[in-house]
Amino acid sequence: MDAMHLVNSRLDALLKKYTALQAENNRLRATIDGQNKAIQRLNKKVQSLDNGMVSVHLGNTNINEEDKEHMRRQLDVVINEIDQILHTLND
């Protein structure tokens, strides 16, 4: 009976570990999905800003400093968001 009890307790421990690993796996998959969606959103934003820059460049070569600074800030924000997501993906 002791052997059976030992096998039963080990089986219970393995089942608990398996359940915990499944829960962690599901959580990690959800995190990855969320980060992939955020990356897609940011890529669209970068492309939109890039298209805006091309339009501005083609339409008006005399961009004032205020507009340049505004575009730089927008690009900095987008690049920082992408960096943060890449850092969390690497962790």
pLDDT tens, position by position, 22-40: 999 999 999 999 999 988 9
Range of the domain at 60: 2-90
The C-alpha atoms of residue 86 and residue 29 are separated, in whole angstroms, by 16
What residue ranges in the chain does DSSP mark as E strands? none
The model's pTM is 0.53
Cα separation of 67 and 56, whole Å? 10
If one counts the domains in the chain, the total is: 1
Predicted confidence band at 84 (pLDDT cuts at 50, 70, 90)? confident
pLDDT at 59 over 60: no
